[in-house]
Amino acid sequence: MFSNRIPIAKMAAAVVVLSAVTCAIMLSINWNGAEDSTAAPKIDDLMNIAIVLSTVIFWIVMVALAYALHAFKVKPGDESDGEPIHGNTRLEIAWTLVPTVIVLFLGGYSWKVLDDIEQPADRQLTVDVFSQQYAWSFGYPGKEYAYSQGVLHVPVNRQIVFKMHAQDVIHSFWVPQWRIKKDNVPGITTTAIVTPTKTGTYQLICTELCGFGHASMRAKVVVEPEAKWEKWVAGLKEKVPTPFMVSVKQDTETNPEPLERVEAE
Amino acid sequence: MVAAFKRPGWYRALLGALIAAGLGVGLVVVLRSISGLSAFQSEQTGYPQVVVPLIMAPLGFLLGLGAFDYWLRWAFGLPTIPEDHAMHGAKSWKDYFKVNTDHKVIGIQYIVTTFFFFFVGGLMAMLIRAELAQPGTQIVGANTYNSLFSTHAVLMIFVFVIPVFAGIANYVLPLMIGAPDMAFPRLNALSFWLLPIAGLLFVGSFLAPGGAFDAGWTGYAPLSTGAPLGQSFFNLGVQFAGASSIATALNFLVTIITMRAPGMTFWRMPLLVWANLSTSLLVVAATPFIAGAQFMVLFDRIMHTNFFQFGAGGDVISYQHIFWFYSHPAVYIMILPGFGIISEVISTHARKPIFGYRLMALALIGIVVLSYSVWAHHMFVAGMFSWLRVPMMLTTLLIAVPTGIKIFSWLGTLYFGKIHTKSTAMLFALAFIVTFTIGGISGVMLGMVPFDIHVSDTYFIVAHIHFVLFGGSVFTIFAGIYHWFPKMTGRMYDEKLGRVHFWGTLLGTWGTFVPMHWVGMDGMPRRVADYAGQFGNWNLLISCFAFLLGAIQLVFLYNMIVSWRFGPKAEANPWRANSIEWLVSSPPPIYNFDEIPRVVGGPYEFGIPGARHAIMPGEGAEVPAAQPTVVGH
Amino acid sequence: MESASVPLPQGGAGHAAEAHHHGPPEANQSSRIDRQTLGILLFIISEVMLFGAFFASYFFLRVVVNPADWPPKPFELPVAVAGMNTAILVSSSFTIHYALESIRKGNKQGMKLGLVLTWLLGLTFLFIQINEYVHLGFSARTESFGTIFYSLTGLHGAHVFVGLMLLTFATIRAFRGHFDKEAEDHLGVEVPGIYWHFVDIMWIVVFATVYIL
Ligand code: HEA
Ligand code: HEA
Ligand code: CUA
Ligand SMILES: [Cu+2]
């Protein structure tokens, strides 16, 4: 090893200090906004772990580079070559294995998080999401054809299964404060699972390019106590469903299989 | 005058284009009337009577320009004139506008053409930033905006980054392996001339009714299958660009495998050669998939087939699978040659052998293999098979390992070296290590499904894109251009201006693309002309840095043009490098060598007294005659 | 356009040996395989991948979407005719092989015969295929089935056409007395031959997938 010729200890110290400072700053900032669903804190924790590891890696690279530039920058007029070092098997093995371990850890942890944010709970509530250029409408269970346009009402602290149907092109359902996003794909039904934990109003954003109206394809999301929500749904007067809604409904009743297929395991 | 139209050249080319276009229209009219359709009435998106001529005209153009003359003569067994206008070398600037089979001329043709499109694409980026400087729509409407970022990305990817690497390699690779030219010089010329065609199709789509293609560079169905005529320009342009890069990749592979100088074993190849070998493997096997994807979209649009028509049994998501099966490998096609450049630059300017040369080469191969197994990481929220997400996540994260090997080995190369930072090439190489590490790490975060669910299709993605593509690929391109500028032009560039360009670009890149991470995570979606007021300030800042970034590129332009004309003469080997291209004069003589050099050692043997990579004929021990070449008939 | 980029033999340093001007030095041959053959093999790889894209689409349209009936009623495919066509194409592989064997032995007549036979067989194949299209009764717009049927068989038809072009060139040159015994003297037959075998094998795959599965 070259450890006797490089101040490994000093450099390690520098990495630790710099990483500590950077992490302190990075973790104190709330990057993703309010955490208003059960998934949100889990995803943010995952992100923070990734941030910590990334910071360390970043500073390792930086410090290594900085020291090289400081120590091995050529002296003016020096035309000679560097030392003919062709490699070092130990080092090479090290920087193959260590990153492998790190990414496998990140992968495993992400897998775990993915599993429990998609864990089905009891007392699920299924809400249909109908998207088209450039508007959202939402169908609620119980009442035959009760649906709302441009505004989504859901109860708080209850797991909601969104069944998403797109009429024309691909749209995407995103509520940043819930951290949940899923494309609505024409021809199939996609699902997203959310458990809102705070009441309030949010914005539903379309995040898949769907034409000139893409930027303005938004909807209002209202999360309210369950009782209030039930009153609101009851208050929804029967509307004439769009042909699309009818077809979707029939489809799900007659043969759910083809509609569900893509999401199926 | 008539003679001018007979001779291969621009007159005949334009004539050919016109005739071919005419034939195209005729063909459509005939076919339609046979199948009992009204000859001209366009079916809302189809416009076959425009699309078919768009396919034919370029072929007529190439025929007229003379790209096929030699082959046709040969095919019909006529006597082939050895130099039928497919001439070698360039005596005047006019020769760059002809079908030229000299790999050095073609290299220059490539580089100049692609940088032209870089500036066009960049100008579009400037418009994008101007529009996004404040919330609300000021300069362009939503439709134009969508066309802008779509064409911006398509120009940058298909007619800048991918081909400019082919251009640089075209120039230096045959020299590096001690070959007089590429394996198929005429195919090489053809692949170049396909390129301006693709670029013009992309830019020309702005003239189409309904405006340029506006479904993003990804052109997802069914948005693209229902889009106005402009989308077809994209479908076709990609075919030409794709054919071009496949042909070039074939050429590189055959050249590298069959034309290495005596003594140049695979383990003695410079890493740039390794990099282009692996890139070409990706291109040959992956590019057909985007060709396929765009053919399907085109058929859906023109013949109203049902690949992606969900009403009639089509599958919408299949487009994304087929598209990304090319387009993920494509992102490595856009970085691996850069890795090669960085290796050359760093080892030369640190005067030190590459650290762990073999592992570096193997890492490239590892990336090639892995990158076929990760495409669905672009589809984590697309509603595809949910069981596919975790396997794809793991393979995606694993790609960090071979890439890390490269980063760390470059650092290792610097240690105990003699680092010269006077060359702008080296500055860009060092900055590349930093910016690409950041871009790569944000990529790893994207690879983690739950986090990607949140940031997918937000500005976080845009930030990642530009850190890896601008801070990554484009930095390596700048490094390469500065490094081989003396070799290509025979003159030195102005280091002072180079420094200005470097620091400006570095500052601009960070200032522009770092804040994009933040607005993205905070809830700003991508591909929007208008956005919530809360992001106003950040976007204003981003735009300012973007304009700086753009303006600084003008310094680069000025430096290159002026130095090319008036720069001080460069000697053969200004950087005291080892590889063969530096053993010949700058610019190299026509046909590169009088006799093929002999390779006697590794490419990076700095610091070993008396060690040599290659010996030119005449000097040193006398060269054993190379075995006779197999020449086809 | 892909066809335009078929590396025809002699694409290489064709004029290398010209004596009347200072040409390039002979490149060192660093591999046993010659450029033209390697070139066509690599090109075939990317051709296979192009088919791969459409087979991928086939997989999605048939397996993933999983429509009720495939092919949709009331249509069915003339497997017998296609089978006969397969036989024709396969036999053409033997004739091209015969042509090659002959020229390897220096028997130019045999080569010409082989080439002409192959060419005719190829043409017959195309003719029967087009005739089949006319009588199928469904179009590329008929469900996803029609789409993928026509695109797979059509893509292959296009490749037969390209193969035929290459064969045409080889034949013309053969009758002009070009090729000869030595390996490097009949690459002009060798290379189209390799491509023709590929077109052949590809058809067997397409046939198996589209008509039989
Ligand atoms: C040059 C181009 C390039 C390169 C090299 C990369 C490299 C990587 N990219 Fe990126 N990517 C793009 C161009 C590129 N990407 C583009 C254009 C898009 C958007 C497409 C669109 O428009 O939708 C995209 C989108 C994209 C997505 C989809 C996001 C989404 O749409 O939701 C993902 C998800 O996994 C991803 C991941 C990665 C990963 C893991 C790498 C890895 O290869 C990175 C590996 C490198 C490092 C990790 C840094 C160096 C390594 C070390 C210092 C070792 C130690 C590190 C660790 C242990 C972590 N990229
Ligand atoms: C190699 C690839 C590459 C390169 C080099 C760039 C370069 C730049 N890109 Fe690009 N970009 C992409 C690839 C690339 N981009 C891709 C793949 C997308 C996704 C598209 C999609 O969503 O489908 C994208 C999307 C994209 C967006 C998001 C659009 C959206 O989602 O709404 C933005 C917004 O800021 C942007 C900005 C920039 C800027 C400021 C530069 C700058 O670096 C450009 C600097 C260069 C110049 C400016 C040219 C030189 C200067 C002149 C021509 C003189 C004129 C200068 C002035 C007038 C000041 N790009
Ligand atoms: Cu709907 Cu974007
Ligand atoms: Cu990717």
Q: How far apart are CA A100 and CA A103, in angstroms?
A: 5
Per-window interface: B 257-316 vs C, CB < 8 A: 257-262, 264, 284-289, 291-293, 295-296, 299, 303-307, 309, 312-315
Q: What pLDDT was estimated at residue A143?
A: 64
> For A37-41, A250-254, B225-229, B551-555, which range has the lowest pLDDT when averaged over its residues?
A250-254
Q: Do C65 and A258 touch (CB under 8 A)?
A: yes
Cα–ligand 3 centroid distance for B610 (angstroms): 66
Residues facing A130 on adjacent strands: A137, A165
Minimal CA–CA distance to B412: which of C50, C48, A95?
A95
For tokens 């003469």, name the residue.
B569
Q: How far apart are CA B31 and CA B25, in angstroms?
A: 10
**Number of Cβ pairs < 8 A linking chain A and chain B:** 266
Which residues of chain A are under the pLDDT cut of 50? 1, 255-265
Q: Which residues does chain A have within 8 Å of residue B434's beta carbon, measured at their own beta carbons?
A: 61-62, 65
Judge whether residue B631 has pLDDT over 70. no
Give pLDDT tens digits for B404-444: 999 999 999 999 999 999 899 999 999 999 999 999 999 99
Q: Which amino acid is residue B418, in one-letter code?
A: K
* pTM score of the predicted model: 0.93
Provide mean pLDDT across the span B598-619. Answer: 86
Question: B405: helix, coil or strand?
Answer: helix
Give percent above pLDDT 70 in chain B. Answer: 95
Instruction: Kindly indicate the confidence band of residue B43, based on its pLDDT and cuts at 50, 70 and 90.
Output: low
Judge whether residue B23 has pLDDT over 50. yes
Judge whether residue C184 has pLDDT over 70. yes
Give pLDDT tens digits for B148-175: 999 999 999 999 999 999 999 999 999 9
Q: Which residues does chain B have within 8 Å of residue C172's beta carbon, measured at their own beta carbons?
A: 75-77
Q: What pLDDT was estimated at residue A69?
A: 94
Number of Cβ within a 10 Å radius of residue C211: 18
Cα–ligand 4 centroid distance for B212 (angstroms): 25
User: Which of B382, B418, B448 is opposite residue A183, by nearest beta carbon?
Assistant: B382
Q: What pLDDT was estimated at residue A265?
A: 31
Distances (CA, A) of A169 to A130, A132, B292: 12, 7, 21
Nearest CA to ligand 2 atom 36: B125
- Closest CA of chain A from B176, distance in Å: 21
- Closest CA of chain B from A47, distance in Å: 7
Give pLDDT tens digits for B257-299: 999 999 999 999 999 999 999 999 999 999 999 999 999 999 9
Identify the helix (H) or strand (E) that includes residue B352.
Answer: none
Instruction: Kindly indicate the confidence band of residue C74, based on its pLDDT and cuts at 50, 70 and 90.
Output: confident
Q: What pLDDT was estimated at residue A256?
A: 46
Judge whether residue C9 has pLDDT over 60. no
Q: What pLDDT was estimated at residue C112?
A: 92
Question: In the numeric block, which tokens belong to residue B23?
Answer: 């034939």
Across all residues in chain B, what is the average pLDDT? Answer: 90
Q: What pLDDT was estimated at residue B71?
A: 85
The DSSP result for chain C, as a single string, is -GGGG---TT-SSTTTT-SSS--PPPPP--SSS-HHHHHHHHHHHHHHHHHHHHHHHHHIIIIIS--SSSSPTT----HHHHHHHHHHHHHHHHHHHHHHHHHHHT-HHHHHHHHHHHHHHHHHHHHHHHHHHHHH---TTSHHHHHHHHHHHHHHHHHHHHHHHHHHHHHHHHHTT---SSGGGSHHHHHHHHHHHHHHHHHHHHHIIIII-
Provide mean pLDDT across the span B508-532. Answer: 93
Judge whether residue B317 has pLDDT over 90. yes
Provide mean pLDDT across the span B227-256. Answer: 94
Domain boundaries, chain C: 34-212
Q: Which residues does chain A have within 8 Å of residue B407's beta carbon, measured at their own beta carbons?
A: 61
Pocket of ligand 3 (CB under 6 A): A 134, 171, 206, 208-210, 214, 217
Nearest CA to ligand 3 atom 1: A171
Q: Do A258 and C64 touch (CB under 8 A)?
A: no
- Closest CA of chain A from B186, distance in Å: 40
Pick C176 or B247 by higher pLDDT: B247
Closest ligand 2 atom, residue B551 Cα: 59
Query: What subunits make at least 3 CB pairs under 8 angstroms with B?
Result: A, C
**Number of Cβ pairs < 8 A linking chain B and chain C:** 259
Q: What pLDDT was estimated at residue B139?
A: 86
Provide CB contacts within 8 A for B437, sequence distance 6+.
A57, A58, A61, B407
Provide mean pLDDT across the span B450-478. Answer: 95
Interhelix angle for B424-447 vs B389-398, to 10°? 160
> Quick check: ipTM above 0.95?
no
Instruction: Kindly indicate the confidence band of residue B86, based on its pLDDT and cuts at 50, 70 and 90.
Output: low
Question: B627: helix, coil or strand?
Answer: coil
Q: What pLDDT was estimated at residue B428?
A: 96
Q: What pLDDT was estimated at residue A144?
A: 67
| The CA-based dihedral angle spanning residues A139, A140, A144, A148, taken in that order and rounded to the nearest 10 degrees | -50
Q: What pLDDT was estimated at residue A259?
A: 40
Q: Which residues does chain C have within 8 Å of residue B264's beta carbon, measured at their own beta carbons?
A: 30
Cα–ligand 3 centroid distance for A212 (angstroms): 9
Q: Which residues does chain A have within 8 Å of residue B214's beta carbon, measured at their own beta carbons?
A: 212
CATH architecture of C34-212: Up-down Bundle (1.20)
Q: What pLDDT was estimated at residue B379?
A: 94
Q: How far apart are CA B496 and CA B558, in angstroms?
A: 12
> For B76-90, B340-354, B496-510, which range has the lowest pLDDT when averaged over its residues?
B76-90
Q: Which amino acid is residue C128, in one-letter code?
A: I
Q: How far apart are CA A12 and CA B513, in angstroms?
A: 29
Provide mean pLDDT across the span B471-494. Answer: 95
DSSP state of A156: T
Q: Do A74 and B445 touch (CB under 8 A)?
A: no
Give pLDDT tens digits for C125-174: 999 999 998 888 888 888 889 999 999 999 999 999 999 999 999 999 89
Q: What pLDDT was estimated at residue B371?
A: 93
Minimal CA–CA distance to C6: which of B68, B336, A191, B599?
B68
